[in-house]
Structure 1
């Protein structure tokens, strides 16, 4: 069994008033500690976030991956894990662009975007897997689709043509009815939230912008979409690994929130 979390934590450099990082960092850490995941895919990790985690989450190791900026504040799609549960065998990362080996952007993306991956081995069972963590663009639909296609292509090389199970976490900045979501499903990934019996509605949104963004009276949201944009995707050629549970974690102390996204956590069996 493996408990995995995806969490867009909102970079520490943002001026968020009552939800500025120094004010919400304790609640953010508490949320992670209460869930107690073995592996975490974080989005928007900056130096201020990382400093708090290194001090208050000492039981985790970290792979930051490539920076999404050439200057401060650097931002990472970092992967954290508990070394007593999983072993890092190798790791890497790339930029979501037409030149993924160098810091760059393509497809009219509003920001430089990255992906980080770690090749893990479960210490109990010996099962090996790839965990890839990413953050797709929030403006360009072209970039979200092209970035997803690039990640799927890169994973073929990383997993030696699908030989290893793959877990993908991230803020995909689009809803489950979008072309990127369909592309992932077409390439044999399952959406853990849907695979465990959930259905989408306006209450399943994972992006809430510190609770100022609410569904309209018609039940629709931004762009007439459901904002469940934080996903845990699973693909296992042997069909042994599958999500057993998947939940959106609504921890909050209004007006204080751990982040402008709710984290998502899944329990995976077969590991």
Structure 2
């Protein structure tokens, strides 16, 4: 009986020391009139998108293409979350954010900041051959129920600049080395290139970060991550990624291809729609001391 008690006690310690995180990356698509004309307006998508986040129980996630009005709408619909991040165009509210949303009941924010994906990381500006100003938001978090600390970085790389993507990847690795030491780190984002690209290899083969897709114990990915508004499109390309340091075991990885239905008034039939032109990516991570 005494031996059984000791075994159970040790198991209890192991469970307490193991920290599980539901992490995600989600390009929510910026709100714009052209999408609304095509029947994919933000006002229509937001309620579905935020319910998806709630149902899939994201503990902490990086989002991309979030304009200020969208940020406010998401926070109103997701009162259990707080966020960090700024608009990329002025470091305040102008332009798209790359915010990190986190559960207020699970995490305490220790510190946070932003840097621009550019030769000058301190202020809004375009880097290298980029078409747009690009930003990376970061935070250091502590599990509110224990002593587990980790860093979270989130970004949206340029869609045009090949040099900009490669140098941005190198910059992020450099920042992680400089800021985080051997601490656990998560990097999420829309990298605008798939798993065959040079900038992807810079990250995945860095010796610091690994693509959670590649190291997951259980993988659920029946599609790539950019659907272009068509729920019937198939692509093998994953341009939205979750990278993790070796401190984490990736128990599960999934591309969430959730759809919803709207009625076509012309035909009277219902048709499938998706909440964004990107599918969100989710990883279940476990960190054990």
**Structure 2 counterpart of 1:93, from 111, 114, 138:** 114
Q: Secondary structure at the match of 1:53?
A: helix
CA contact (8 A) 1:18 1:255 kept: no
Q: Distance in 1 between matches of 2:231 and 2:55?
A: 25
Question: What's the secondary structure of 2:58's corresponding residue?
Answer: coil
> So what's the TM-score if we normalise by structure 2?
0.82
Q: 1:72 and 1:86, CA in 2 relative to 1: closer, same or farther beyond 3 A?
A: closer
Gap regions ≥5 residues in structure 1:
216-220
How many equivalent residue pairs? 255
Post-superposition offset of 1:121:
0.8
Per-residue deviation at 1:36? 1.4
| Coordinate RMSD, CA, aligned | 2.1
Which structure has the larger Rg?
A: 2
Task: Determine whether 1:2 maps to 2:52.
Answer: no
Q: Do 1:41 and 1:77's aligned partners in 2 also have CA atoms closer than 8 Å? A: yes
Post-superposition Cα deviations, 1:160-189, rounded to whole Å, max 9, x if no partner, equal: xx2211100000111111111211122221
Q: CA deviation at 1:7?
A: 0.1
Q: 1:259 matched to which residue of 2?
A: 276
Task: Tell me, yes or no, if the aligned pair for 1:24 and 1:258 is still in contact at 8 Å.
Answer: yes
Instruction: Call closer, same or farther: CA 1:207–1:104 in 2, change over 3 Å.
Output: same
Q: Which of structures 1 and 2 has the larger relative contact order (alpha carbons within 8 angstroms, sep 6+)?
A: 1
Distance (Å, rounded) in 2 between the aligned partners of 1:259 and 1:21: 9
**Larger strand proportion of the pair:** 2
Change in 2 beyond 3 A, CA 1:146/1:14: farther
Tell me what 1:191 maps to.
211
Distance 1:116 1:231, change over 3 A: same
CA distance in 1, matches of 2:136, 2:203: 15
